[in-house]
Amino acid sequence: MRTSRRNWITALALVLMLGLGWWYRSTRPAPRAWTGGVMGTRYSVQVADPLPERRADALRRKVHGRLREIDGLMSTWNPESPLSHFNDHTATNPVSIPRELHRVVAAALETARASGGAFDPTVSPLLAAWGFGPKAEDRDPGAAELDALRARTGFERLRLLPSARLRKTHPGLQLDLGGIAKGYGADAAAAVLREGGVSDYLVEVGGEVRVRGRHSSGEPWRIGVERPGSDASGAARLQGVMQLTSGAVATSGDYRNYRLDKGGRRLPHLLDPRAGRPVRSDVAGVTVLADDAMTADALATALFVMGPDAGLRWIEPRPEEALFLVRSNGVIREIPSSGFETRAAYRSPED
């Protein structure tokens, strides 16, 4: 999988800056930290538990192996993955898939239904037509082409069946889990650490973050919310800081992965599946706080598509929290859900 929503360098830099910058304040050993590449992006792990070198190396290998395993199941860039085989199947009879893939597809479809289609794992042909994804074309599609593509997209055309089977109702339907798989990967890597007896960790996969416990300083893990745009030097800036001892964070935004159309207008890689077109709004980004990274990952996309009015109405009854960053008269305005600031212990980066 190639990263499709965030610049991993920025995400990693923010995590390291906010976490590793506190090492000198701690009387405990500095966290074990490592990075790697998988799923078409980068990941980073910090473990605050004091670990012998041999145990740390074993965990490092297990985390990397687990992420490679997930990539092998869900990559649309790998023609031999089970997901690619399903996409290549141009018939409507049921196809058996690995049970783990079946569970992730079930979660994606649950979010698609709950969001009224604002999140949809079948939009990859539309993304390609607008110039994004593994089969992207550098052009702007016309109305007739979009209508034809929409006829073979839509989560309603995917049937999840018992015994780990999946069926298309249109032979041209394509499934892409890029909007949920990195979050699932962060959760899976965190599970490897927990099973290895680790109680204090931070895992980040392509910008999706899962944390537990505390930094070696004794303080909560600090996660930065990036301010859309950059300073004069091109460096990322912080909008705010979350302080967490458990949970997960994901962000969707239009300021990293976009292209310009023929008229010079910015086209974000985030599509409104219901319209078949890139989202055009004043929303610059949405950060979601949830119990697990897979949920946060999918909801960040859905809320970006919905926008703050509909999005806040939708998320308020739910257990997750969200922060919308909206462009308004040349400044970024924060619009949080009612419990976001308290649950995230959110504050200005200067505090």
291 is in an annotated binding site: no
Q: Are residues 164 and 247 in the same domain?
A: no
Q: What integer pLDDT is reported at residue 5 of this predicted model?
A: 45
CATH number where 125 lies:
1.10.3980.10
Please indicate, yes or no, if residue 3 is contained in any of the structural domains. no
Across 52-80, average pLDDT: 95
- Determine the Cα–Cα distance for residues 132 and 136; give it in Å rounded to an integer: 5
Please indicate, yes or no, if residue 246 is contained in any of the structural domains. yes
Q: What integer pLDDT is reported at residue 258 of this predicted model?
A: 62
Q: What integer pLDDT is reported at residue 270 of this predicted model?
A: 85
Across 125-138, average pLDDT: 74
Q: Are residues 243 and 339 in the same domain?
A: yes
User: What does the pLDDT look like over 185-239, one tens digit per residue?
Assistant: 999 999 999 999 999 999 999 999 999 999 999 999 999 999 987 554 556 789 9
Please state the domain count of the chain: 2
Please indicate, yes or no, if residue 83 is contained in any of the structural domains. yes
179 is in an annotated binding site: yes
Question: 23-27, 189-193, 332-336, 341-345: which range is least confident on average?
Answer: 23-27
- The separation between the first and the last C-alpha atoms of the chain, rounded to the nearest angstrom, is 37
**End residue of a domain, out of 168, 190, 212:** 168
Please indicate, yes or no, if residue 55 is contained in any of the structural domains. no
**End residue of a domain, out of 168, 186, 201:** 168
Q: Are residues 129 and 245 in the same domain?
A: no
CATH number where 288 lies:
3.10.520.10
Please indicate, yes or no, if residue 34 is contained in any of the structural domains. no
Please indicate, yes or no, if residue 24 is contained in any of the structural domains. no
Evaluate if residue 22 carries a pLDDT over 70. no
Query: Could you tell me the CA-to-CA distances from 247 to 54, 261, 298, 320 in Å, in that order?
Result: 28, 38, 15, 10
Q: Are residues 228 and 130 in the same domain?
A: no
Would you put residue 80 in left (φ > 0), alpha (ψ -120 to 50) or beta?
Answer: alpha
Q: Are residues 244 and 317 in the same domain?
A: yes
For tokens 């930290």, the residue is 33
For tokens 């999140």, the residue is 119
Please indicate, yes or no, if residue 199 is contained in any of the structural domains. no
Classified as helix, coil or strand, 129 is helix
For tokens 């204090």, the residue is 200
Q: Are residues 163 and 231 in the same domain?
A: no
Reported confidence tier of residue 8, pLDDT bands at 50, 70, 90? very low
- Determine the Cα–Cα distance for residues 344 and 320; give it in Å rounded to an integer: 11
Evaluate if residue 45 carries a pLDDT over 50. yes
Q: Are residues 135 and 246 in the same domain?
A: no
Taking residue 221's Cβ as centre, other Cβ atoms within 10 Å add up to: 28
- Determine the Cα–Cα distance for residues 12 and 202; give it in Å rounded to an integer: 11
Q: Are residues 164 and 233 in the same domain?
A: no
In this structure, what token pair is assigned to residue 338? 């009612």
- Determine the Cα–Cα distance for residues 136 and 150; give it in Å rounded to an integer: 16
Please indicate, yes or no, if residue 26 is contained in any of the structural domains. no
157: buried, middle or exposed (CB in 10 Å: 19+, 13-18, 0-12)?
middle
**End residue of a domain, out of 151, 168, 185:** 168
pTM of structure: 0.88
10 is in an annotated binding site: no
Evaluate if residue 135 carries a pLDDT over 70. no
Q: 55-94 burial by CB neighbour count: b if 16+ within 10 A, else e?
A: bbeebbeebbebbeebbbbbbbebeebbbbebbebeeeee
Residue 242 contacts residue 289 (beta carbons within 8 Å)? yes
The counts of H helices and E strands in the chain are 10, 17
Query: Could you tell me the CA-to-CA distances from 203 to 29, 182, 266, 326, 349 in Å, in that order?
Result: 19, 11, 32, 28, 21
Q: Are residues 163 and 244 in the same domain?
A: no
Residue 183 contacts residue 208 (beta carbons within 8 Å)? yes
Phi, psi values for residue 314, rounded to 5° = -75, -40
Q: Are residues 339 and 231 in the same domain?
A: yes
Evaluate if residue 279 carries a pLDDT over 80. yes
Domain hosting residue 337, numbered range = 220-344
Reported confidence tier of residue 71, pLDDT bands at 50, 70, 90? very high
